[in-house]
Amino acid sequence: MSDARFLRFAHGDVIPRAGVPRIDVAAFNTAVAESVASGHRLVTLFGHPAGKDFIELMAILANDRDGELSVAATAVAGSYPALTPGCPQAHWFEREIAEQWAVTPEGHPWLKPIRFHQPYRPGASPWQRTGETPAQPGITNYFRVEGREIHEVAVGPVHAGIIEPGHFRFQCHGENVFNLEIELGYQHRGIERRIRGGPDNRTIHYMETAGGDTTVGHAMAYCHLMEALGRVRVPARAQVLRGVALELERLANHTGDLGALAGDIGYLPTASFCGRIRGDWLNLTATMCGNRFGRGLIRPGGLGNEPDAECLKNILCRLDAFERDMAGAVELLWATTSVMARLEETGVVSQADAISIGLVGPAARACGLSRDVRNDFPSGIYRYANIPPASWHSGDVFARAFVRWVESQRSIAFIREQLGTLPTGAVAVASGRIAPDAMAVSLVEGWRGEICHVALTDSNGRFEHYKVSDPSFHNWYGLALALRNQQISDFPLCNKSFNLSYCGHDL
Amino acid sequence: MWRVILERLRQKHRTHGYPAEAPVMPGRFQGRPVVDNNTVAGAEGPVACCPTAALAIGPDHRLRLDAGKCLFCGECTKACGQHGVRFTQEHRLAAARREDLVIKGGEEHLADALNKEAARLFGRSLKLRQVSAGGCNACEADTNVLNTLVFDLGRFGIQFVASPRHADGLLVTGPVTKNMELALRKTYEAVPSPKIVIAVGACAISGGLFAGHDETFRGVGDILPVDLFIPGCPPHPWTILDGLLRVLGKLR
């Protein structure tokens, strides 16, 4: 792609902000749509203030095949022609931009708030004329199907289990779901807004709580950015142990999800075993740093805690037993006909839809796609140790479960190999001075998929803007598609098979 | 079916012997903090590095640590070296009064049981509705884990139920976002009286990291009366279980 509309760069590069091509909005729309049509993927699209009256839109695209990123930018004022009609991957991002910056993407097919907060700059949001009460979650117009025997089911924000809040609106014909609309925002804590102006002593903690079950993933994405911007080289030992922590996080969550899927089917042996084994993985993380979710472990420059030799020996030694327990628990699923009957052909997402809406992570790999940041845009230890992406073609709940199991086995093999050949040396180096007027992008394959952090620094090396894109941001709409023409009773199973983050989305 | 039975035999009985058997915490676990009674000189460093202002110098010119705000990140111990604050392996942290969470040199106030009437009502069967109101899913996960066979919450007569109308109280996580205020109030109103409220985690107790954000409150206490505070970020499952049993008068 020798295209002057984009700046191409490698993952981990620090780019001078002045080098990002600024094009007019019509050219920007065409460029992004053409790039996506040629097989690239919209990693993130966000706005940030540029001067008094303008918002700069920045699109970051990934060429997964060649491991190359590209960026383009444009400036808009009060409104601009929406990208979404020509590029469905942009639909959720444009709703975010409209809400944060009071900019209207004209022609967006379903322009609604996603987090229900006041705009970050003076001016009314596209949904609010001066003097009106601001939009509130749960009080909006929903997509409606009209007709005889059509009925509507509303679920949430408070759900039956111990899970985070979100609102689901089903349009049903009998038991069949014609449309599911997912409305989030209940978890919005204002994280992104508080990161601007940093880094400071709270920043790393915001990263660790952006999505608590992805503590290691988000902390790693942030640290990679800090290390790129500060031109710091992280010691090999720390890189390896970060990889071990990331894979332990994946193992804990994949195990929990497989157990929860079994629980939703009412197949209790696997549900009980996996519930316990998930805790075993969390406890291994706790032996490294004291916290079951890995808090305090990943810090800019390396590790915040150095696991001692005994701890590492203990992890290696327990790995075999946990692998045996997990295999025994999970393989019961595939060997039980009544379980397979429930998993197969439920909640199918086609590969074409997965590409069109830009699914990431296990949900994408369950549609036969092989995208995996560890393979396509490796950083840290993943540059040296390859984990082959695990994919399956059927796009159903079974595929999303099976991909998790194959990935888990590969994570165990990775940990075993890495701890067997652990480099010696320091685990942390001092942070460097953050490059001013620069931009950097960091991608990490968290257990849910691609985590993307983007930092734009000002002339003093502070964060002028910081964008966090959790994999859930790409994937929530995938869940809505999976429910089409399914039974309403399939919802819990489909939901678990994606297991997306509410707070990671709402921030 | 034989395969299931065989696997069950292989995986064995794994329920922990708690409370008769003491839980073993990970070697690096940062539990109940201890604050040095004398130190003030040089305390500005550790106080300044605390991300949630949990560590402060009180009017008596002595260090005090508010466990209800503390993330247990240990940044203060790194900044103050040997003296000032250290974290012990003690997992018991729950308190019935907010002020009991403020740790000054050597004092300790664990939660007392509820009053006699409440203990009579809930002591043998406590049904809770969980509400996440801005929680990051760590407190939620470590509450949910109590239902697994390792902890086996049901053997203590405690159960999480699907509807507030079936519940004796709420267990709330998260700082309470403005967007969850109405849902939390409605859920509370739907619980029949008498009812209890349990705040789990630094966010639910004080707002934690999010205290002072326009988008959130400073914990459940801003909205509802709280009967039990369980600190941590997130609290270890044993800490949560200890708090639940303590408030029911099952641990002394």
Q: Residue A327: what pLDDT?
A: 95
Q: Residue A209: what pLDDT?
A: 95
Does any CB of chain B come closer than 8 Å to the CB of residue A206? yes
Chain B residues near residue A295 by CB distance under 8 angstroms: 71, 73, 233
Give the gap in angstroms from C-alpha A392 to the nearest C-alpha of chain B: 26
**DSSP character for A131?**
T
Instruction: Specify whether the CB–CB gap between A224 and A12 falls below 8 A.
Output: yes
Does any CB of chain A come closer than 8 Å to the CB of residue B133? yes
| Residue A1, pLDDT above cutoff 60 | no
d(CA A257, CA A274) in angstroms, rounded, equals 8
| Residue A131, pLDDT above cutoff 80 | no
Q: How many CB atoms lie within 10 A of CB A153?
A: 13
Instruction: Specify whether the CB–CB gap between A502 and A183 falls below 8 A.
Output: no
Q: Residue A450: what pLDDT?
A: 96
Does any CB of chain A come closer than 8 Å to the CB of residue B71? yes
Q: Residue A261: what pLDDT?
A: 95
Q: How confident is the model at residue A193 (pLDDT cuts 50, 70, 90)?
A: very high
d(CA B107, CA A463) in angstroms, rounded, equals 42
The backbone torsions φ and ψ at residue A57, rounded to the nearest 5 degrees and listed phi first, read: -95, 135
Q: Residue A194: what pLDDT?
A: 94
Instruction: Specify whether the CB–CB gap between B105 and B230 falls below 8 A.
Output: no
Chain A residues near residue B3 by CB distance under 8 angstroms: 332, 335
d(CA A390, CA A369) in angstroms, rounded, equals 9
**DSSP character for B98?**
G
Chain B residues near residue A157 by CB distance under 8 angstroms: 180, 183
Chain A residues near residue B153 by CB distance under 8 angstroms: none
Q: Which of B3, B4, B140 sits opposite A164 (nearest CB)?
A: B140
d(CA A28, CA A13) in angstroms, rounded, equals 23
In the three-class reduction of DSSP (H, G, I as helix; E, B as strand; rest coil), residue A21 is classed as coil
Instruction: Specify whether the CB–CB gap between A87 and A36 falls below 8 A.
Output: yes
Sheet with B102-103: list strands edge to edge.
B55-57, B63-66, B102-103
Strand pairing partners for B129? Answer: B170
What residues in chain B have per-residue pLDDT under 70?
39-41, 82, 106-109, 111-115, 252
Does any CB of chain B come closer than 8 Å to the CB of residue A318? no
Residue of B nearest to A311 (CA): B27
Instruction: Specify whether the CB–CB gap between A416 and A194 falls below 8 A.
Output: no
> What mean pLDDT do residues A135-142 have?
80
Instruction: Specify whether the CB–CB gap between B88 and B108 falls below 8 A.
Output: no
Q: Residue B114: what pLDDT?
A: 66
Question: For residue range A69-94, what is the model confidence (pLDDT) as tens digits?
Answer: 999 999 999 899 999 999 999 999 99
Instruction: Specify whether the CB–CB gap between B175 and B203 falls below 8 A.
Output: yes
Q: How many CB atoms lie within 10 A of CB A321?
A: 10
Q: Do B26 and A503 lie within an 8 Å CB cutoff?
A: no
Which of A118, A291, A313 has the most B C-beta neighbours within 10 Å, making it the best mutation to test the interface with B? A291
Q: Residue B228: what pLDDT?
A: 93
Task: Count interface pairs A-B at CB distance under 8 A.
Answer: 168
Q: Which residues contact B27 (CB under 8 A, 6 or more apart)?
A: A287, A290, A311
d(CA A165, CA A137) in angstroms, rounded, equals 11
| Residue A129, pLDDT above cutoff 70 | no
Does any CB of chain A come closer than 8 Å to the CB of residue B12? no
Residue of B nearest to A273 (CA): B11
- The CA-to-CA distance between both ends of chain B, in Å, stands at 44
Q: Do A290 and B4 lie within an 8 Å CB cutoff?
A: no
Residue of B nearest to A136 (CA): B179
Question: For residue range A25-60, what is the model confidence (pLDDT) as tens digits?
Answer: 999 999 999 999 999 999 999 999 998 889 999 999
Nearest by Cα to A111 from A90, A87, A122, A95? A95
Question: For residue range A314-354, what is the model confidence (pLDDT) as tens digits?
Answer: 999 999 999 999 999 999 999 999 999 999 999 999 999 99
Respond yes or no on whether the N-terminal peptide bond of residue B164 is cis (omega within 30° of 0): no
> What mean pLDDT do residues A97-104 have?
92
Give the gap in angstroms from C-alpha B121 to the nearest C-alpha of chain A: 24
Chain B residues near residue A279 by CB distance under 8 angstroms: 145, 148, 150
Q: Do B28 and A209 lie within an 8 Å CB cutoff?
A: no
Does any CB of chain B come closer than 8 Å to the CB of residue A317? no
d(CA B200, CA B206) in angstroms, rounded, equals 10
Give the gap in angstroms from C-alpha A438 to the nearest C-alpha of chain B: 27
Q: Residue B252: what pLDDT?
A: 67
Query: What DSSP element (H or E) covers A193?
Result: helix A191-195
* ipTM for this model: 0.94
Q: How many CB atoms lie within 10 A of CB A107?
A: 14
Does any CB of chain A come closer than 8 Å to the CB of residue B250? no
Q: Residue B31: what pLDDT?
A: 92
d(CA A356, CA A88) in angstroms, rounded, equals 6
HEC readout, B151-167 = CCHHHHCEEECCCHHHC
Query: What mean pLDDT value characterizes chain A?
Result: 93
Does any CB of chain B come closer than 8 Å to the CB of residue A370? no
Does any CB of chain B come closer than 8 Å to the CB of residue A190? yes
**DSSP character for A22?**
B
Strands A438-446 vs B158-160: parallel, antiparallel or unpaired: unpaired
Scanning chain B, the segments in alpha helix (DSSP H) are 2-11, 44-49, 75-80, 116-122, 138-144, 181-190, 202-206, 237-247
d(CA B135, CA B209) in angstroms, rounded, equals 11
d(CA A293, CA A280) in angstroms, rounded, equals 12
Sign of the C-alpha dihedral computed for residues B81, B83, B86 and B88 taken in this order: positive
Q: Do A275 and B215 lie within an 8 Å CB cutoff?
A: no
Strand pairing partners for B200? Answer: B173, B230
Sign of the C-alpha dihedral computed for residues A176, A361, A335 and A349 taken in this order: positive
Residue of B nearest to A263 (CA): B148
Residues 425-484 of A with CB under 8 A from B: none
Q: How confident is the model at residue A4 (pLDDT cuts 50, 70, 90)?
A: confident
